[in-house]
Structure 1
Amino acid sequence: MRLVSRAVRPAAAALALSLALVLPAAARAGTALTFGIYLWATQGESPTRAQYLSIADGKTEIETDGPAGYKSTTHPTTKPETALIEAAIESRMKALTLHPGPAPAIPYVVIEWNFSQDQTHSEGRGVYALKDVPPSVLALQKKMFGATYEGEGN
């Protein structure tokens, strides 16, 4: 059984084209990358600390939250920053598995990432023991946030 009839396909294509023409070019172009690193050092509904990075439209936004309070900064994106977040996202994409094993004990880190552009969208989430945070993520933390979570929650 066909889910889309032959008569509907041209109409759907025409609708998609008309929407694409109506959307501003900025909404259709470019790549958006996000990467969140959340530390759970104690039981609770919210993380103990959070580091979040977003790159879109030529701007980098860096957000941190924790015992010292919330902080957000924005600056023009650099090529090295883009390469760093892309490497971290690609390493997490390659590490995806359908059989992740048992959840780690506290303290642990939750990593969430998102990659979006005109042709594709991917996102993912992983949970790691604090001692097992991947090297690409540690490099991103050191460069973009000035610190990792190593030594916290022990």
Structure 2
Amino acid sequence: MYTTLPHDKINARLPKLIKWWFDREGKTNICTSESKGFFFATDYKSYKSWTCGALGIALSFLLDNIYDISSKSTLTADNGKKMNALTVFSESIRFFVGNFNNRLDTIFNEVNSNEIRWVLTVPAIWNEKAKSFMREAAIKVLNKVRIKRS
């Protein structure tokens, strides 16, 4: 999606931190640092049943400093909990794609997924492993999105 808004206005609308919540079944749920009452949570109705063990991971990306990342890499949160890096990044992308699709559905009646072209940009200073890792995370999400929306 292209916009004519200045970059500072775009960035002001993007979440700065995504928190991971584990429900009783072990399923991950996401909310942003800017959400009050979990407004941006992926599962709006069941947030009250979530456990309070949040795995907070800042997405001001670790990939700037990680030179040997793969789909088997793990990330450690401030509270010591570990999670698969590919899951963290793919679920974060899924959150943003889902949030965009929900907003799009409220504006337009029907939008076919073939009408949307997703572009994931990464910093030029990232090495090829980091770029490939992000590509893998995006493909993991977008294949599921296309199946659901078509």
Sort the TM-score into its range (normalised by shorter chain): under 0.3
Q: Which has the higher contact order (CA 8 A, sep 6+)?
A: 1
Task: Please state which structure has a larger fraction of its residues in helix.
Answer: 2
* TM-score, scaled relative to structure 2: 0.26
Query: For the pair shown, which has the larger CA radius of gyration, 1 or 2?
Result: 1
Task: Please state which structure has a larger fraction of its residues in strand.
Answer: 1
* TM-score, scaled relative to structure 1: 0.26
